[in-house]
Every structure is written in C-alpha cells, then in structure tokens.
Amino acid sequence: MTATGSAQTSSELQTALGAMWGSRDPDVRLQELVNQAPSGSPLLLIDGERREAHSGARFDNVDPTTERVMGSTADAGPEDVEEAIAAARRAFDETTWATDHAFRRRCLEQLHAGLVRVADDLRATAVWEVGAAVRTTHAFHSDFALDLLPWFAELAESYDYDLTLPDQPWAAGTRRLIAREPVGVVAAITPWNFPLYTAMTKIAPALASGNTVILKPAPQTPWHATLLARVVAEETDIPAGVLNIVPTSDNAVAEILTTDRRVDMVHFTGSTAVGRKIITNSAERIGRVALELGGKSANILLDDAPIADIVPVAAGMVCWSAGQGCVLPTRLLVPQDRYDEAVQLATAAYHGIAYGDPRDPLVIQGPQVSAVQRERVLSFIEKGEAEGATLLAGGGIPAHLDTGYFVEPTLFGDVDRNATIAQQEIFGPVLCLMPYRDEADAIALANGTAYGLAGSVFSADQDRAVSVARRVRSGMMSVNGGFFYARDLPVGGYKQSGLGHECGVQGFEEFLETKAIAIGV
C-alpha cells in the first residue's frame, strides 16, 4: 500500500501537514524497524516480577494495517489484578517510597534514560499496534511522552510539600502548616490512541509525588506498556510493587480497579461513557477520580483570518492519527460570506491527504485502530448523510486498499449545528465544515456541545483572538497555531470532557492530599 492523494496536494500543504505536532521524516533505523516483524513475549509486571498471567491466558495483538495477528500478550485475570493491588498497597504502606523524594527522583531519571534507549522500539510499536504513521511517531508516541519524566523527576524533590502559615495568636498561640501528601494507590487506565503519552501523563506525576501505581493499558495497544514494564524491571531501582502493569482483554477484570477499596484514586483517559461508569463506581467507595474524556473541538476562523492559508492545514489536521485524538478540531467554523471559498479549499485538501500504509514515510493518515473502531466511524458517516449533511469528500472504505481498517478522509458541509456528527465525538478522520453569522454566533456554535476539551482561534488581530479564546468554554485553546501541550502546562477539560488536570504543577498536585496541622505553642 502506498500514499494516496499526495499528487493532488500542493507540496506546501504536504509539508505543513507533515510537520504537524512534531512529525518528521523517519531515519533509516526506524524505517528498518517498522518493516520488521515484532518480537518478544509481552508479560505482566506485578510486585517487581515480569510474568505470565496465573491462568496462562494470552490475547492477540492485531496489526490494524494488515489485519494479521502480530503476537500475543499475557492476559491478566482477577487474581492477577488482586495481586497487583495488594503489591501496590504494601509498597505504599510499608516502604519509604512516599517520603524519600530524592530516591523517587533518581528512579524516574533511570526510567527516562532506559526509555530513551528504546525510543525507536516505542516508535515502531506505535506503527505496529496503533497504526500510527511512522512520520508522526516522534511526537506523542515518544519524544513528548518521554519529556515528561525528567520534569516530574525534578519536581519530586523540589516541590514544597509543606507550607507554613503565619502563627495564629489565639489562646496560647498556634503554629499552622499545610502538608501535601501522596494520595496512595493509583489505578491508571489508559486508551489506545496515544498509549505511551497517556501512560506517562499518569505514571510520571503519580510516582513523582509518592504514590504507587497499577497501570491498565488498552487491550488494543498493550505492547507500549509491556515494553515499559521491561525497562522498569531491568533498568531502574523502582521497588517491587511501586509500579505494576496488568494488560487484560476483559473489561470486567479492569473494572476491579475502579471498585476495590484499597485503590485510593482512579486516573482515566478515554470515552465519556466509560468515565461516567468510573464515577459511579467511585461514588460507591468514595474514591478520588481524575478523568480526561472526549471532545468535539471547534476551530474558529475569524473574518480577518487568512482563510486561504489556514483552511487546508486546519482541515487536514483532523486526519492526523486517523482522527483518533480527543483534541483534534473536528468542527471548522468559517464566516458565512466566505463559506463557499472554504468549501473549495477544504475539499481540495481532502482529495490530497496522503493516507495508507503507515510505514510509508509520506503518509499522514494510517488506519483506524480496529475493525470495531472503523465500523463506528462509518456509522457516523452514514448518520451524517441521513441527517442531511453534504458529503464533500471521502465517506467510505478506500477501494484500492485490500486490507487494513482504513476510512477515507471525509469532509461534510451543510452540517446542522444540532446534527449527530456536529455534537458527538466520532474519533475518526471526519470534519464538519460549518458557517457562522458573526463573532457571537461563532462562540455560541463552539460552545454548543456537551464537551469542552479544546479549541482553536485564528485572527489577524491577536488580542481579538485571545478575547474569543477566553469566551470558549474549553480547557485548552490554541490561538494562531499556538501549541497547548507542554510538560509544564495543565491539560484538562470543561463540562463532559473531564475532571482534573494532567501535566504541569496542577497535574502533579492531582495526586496529592492536603492535610492541615495546627500546633499549640
């Protein structure tokens, strides 16, 4: 399979799309790796030991590009998860991990060094099990994720865990301080779209702040986590039980982590529907939750924005990672009097998106992660047409690709703001092009969904764009192409897009309890 559509796209557009979010041409070694067959025997990590599941069960890992089974992974059962929870509980309660800040820093620095050494293997794994385009794997599938570790490692030691308040001169007087202490045992449940990055946004701050962790990766993409397990076991001094990794194919087994009273916190990234279930389970045990959920981000092009320059790239962004990103701007809002121009620009761009085999260094869009996900995307496309939207490009399975879970880059126009495809997260390469009347209407349109994760604004007037960004009810906003992912910048959503934050000091503090101490003097 080869890249499709690039001949119809200007070289400038291909360059711009190729450079998005840290994308770059793969070097020779990485290209060789992704063309090899995966090897190894992915195992669980429980109480410091890499091993098979007690039952001996394993589950298949399927290449979404070829639809072939690449290998299998140890499949954790209830008894394995029970042992992981017990190990994490014991490591938190009976060791000095929670109080030895310098030791935690050293262990996280070791983990960073070990993962850097296998960075190309992590990138290749993203191509094999996610279907990520090889040129995009230097971003969230490796560099951005690994960059979190040294920052949180330093914070583990430098953070001021005790804050002294002025004495209170009542009675005999009272000294007062506020102590920040780790929550305890954290269950980290991660999705399949950016498995390494979403794991690091949980593991790095949770461990740095003194917690112990049980990581449950998505069954579609377990090998990122099992490679992490190997590095932890072989190249770090992280004590047994501090980090446990339990891939499982059974959602009922995974749910144990959300109901067990020995788990102090559940940190989840994934769908809003699953987030609701986790909240319900946590209510039963009165446990802390942090949720990074779905999105329906709007990209607002104000009437003074250079539409001819922005529309092609803004449209193409939705095809990055096959549209499988919660922050991707899946609604493109343009002034009504320039809507026809935007349709022409976006349609031309969509006919020129390079998609196909993710091992091809020209490709931007690979396959959906699974047959189930492809069917979900196609069902939304059918719903869009049934509800009256105009299909401008794509809309089906590529006729020229015999294998792989591919969906054509798909563009809809004439989308009613209340239509299903304008309201619900599709998680595929599907863009809704929507006109607005004036600035107030654009903001209302952007805010008119149940989500509030991210968004973008473009304007020739930076102050105006920032003013609009402030009025959009989303946790992250990009102005004129600004990049809101950084290790020191908090990530989180409004409304049904989540609770709490990842990254930044705010993300570190998600994993801390607050204790007030008053001392009579």
Q: Please list the pLDDT of the chain residue by residue as tens digits (521 residues).
A: 445 554 344 556 666 666 666 778 888 899 999 999 787 789 999 999 999 999 999 999 999 999 999 999 999 999 999 999 999 999 999 999 999 999 999 999 999 999 999 999 999 999 999 999 999 999 999 999 999 999 999 999 999 999 999 988 876 678 999 999 999 999 999 999 999 999 999 999 999 999 999 999 999 999 999 999 999 999 999 999 999 999 999 999 999 999 999 999 999 999 999 999 999 999 888 899 999 999 999 999 999 999 999 999 999 899 999 999 999 999 999 999 999 999 999 999 999 899 999 999 999 999 999 999 999 999 999 999 999 999 999 999 999 999 999 999 999 999 999 999 999 999 999 999 999 999 999 999 999 999 999 999 999 999 999 999 999 999 999 999 998 888 999 999 999 999 999 999 999 999 999 999 999 88
**Amino acid, res. 354:** A
Same domain flag for 436 and 308? yes
Same domain flag for 186 and 332? no
Question: Phi and psi of 185, rounded to 5°?
Answer: -95, 125
Same domain flag for 440 and 513? no
Same domain flag for 118 and 133? yes
Flag whether 37 is in a domain. no
Flag whether 308 is in a domain. yes
Which is catalytic among the residues 319, 326, 432, 503? 326
Flag whether 4 is in a domain. no
Q: Which domain holds residue 370?
A: 298-452+454-486
Nearest to 491 by CA among 295, 222, 280, 323: 295
Task: Please report the pLDDT score of residue 398 as a whole number.
Answer: 97
Rounded to the nearest angstrom, the gap between the alpha carbon of residue 392 and the centroid of all alpha carbons in its chain is 29
Extract the tokens encoding 63: 């290449």
Task: Please report the pLDDT score of residue 168 as a whole number.
Answer: 85
Whether residue 242 contacts residue 233, with contact meaning beta carbons closer than 8 Å, is answered with no
Flag whether 165 is in a domain. yes
Which is catalytic among the residues 83, 129, 292, 502? 292
Same domain flag for 266 and 324? no
Task: Please report the pLDDT score of residue 26 as a whole number.
Answer: 87
CATH of the domain at 210: 3.40.605.10
292 is catalytic: yes
Same domain flag for 304 and 287? no
Same domain flag for 354 and 385? yes
CATH of the domain at 384: 3.40.309.10
Same domain flag for 96 and 132? yes
Nearest 10 degrees: Cα torsion 442, 443, 449, 450: 170
Task: Please report the pLDDT score of residue 305 as a whole number.
Answer: 97
Q: Distance between CA atoms of 92 and 157, rounded to whole angstroms? A: 18
pTM of the model: 0.95
B/e letters for 146-174, b = 16+ CB within 10 Å, e = fewer, are bebbbbbbebbeebeeeeeeeeeeeeeee
- Cα angle 242, 142, 154 (rounded to 5 degrees) comes to 50
Flag whether 211 is in a domain. yes
Task: Please report the pLDDT score of residue 15 as a whole number.
Answer: 65
Flag whether 12 is in a domain. no
Q: Distance between CA atoms of 453 and 451, rounded to whole angstroms? A: 6
Same domain flag for 229 and 357? no
Task: Please report the pLDDT score of residue 7 as a whole number.
Answer: 37
Beta strands 476-479 and 454-458, pairing class: parallel
Whether residue 290 contacts residue 267, with contact meaning beta carbons closer than 8 Å, is answered with yes
Residue written as token pair 């940190």: 267
Flag whether 411 is in a domain. yes
Same domain flag for 281 and 373? no
| Number of independent structural domains in the chain | 2
Rounded to the nearest angstrom, the gap between the alpha carbon of residue 82 and the centroid of all alpha carbons in its chain is 27
- Cα angle 401, 402, 406 (rounded to 5 degrees) comes to 50
Same domain flag for 512 and 469? no
Flag whether 25 is in a domain. no
Task: Please report the pLDDT score of residue 13 as a whole number.
Answer: 64
Task: Please report the pLDDT score of residue 284 as a whole number.
Answer: 87
Same domain flag for 274 and 304? no
Task: Please report the pLDDT score of residue 170 as a whole number.
Answer: 74
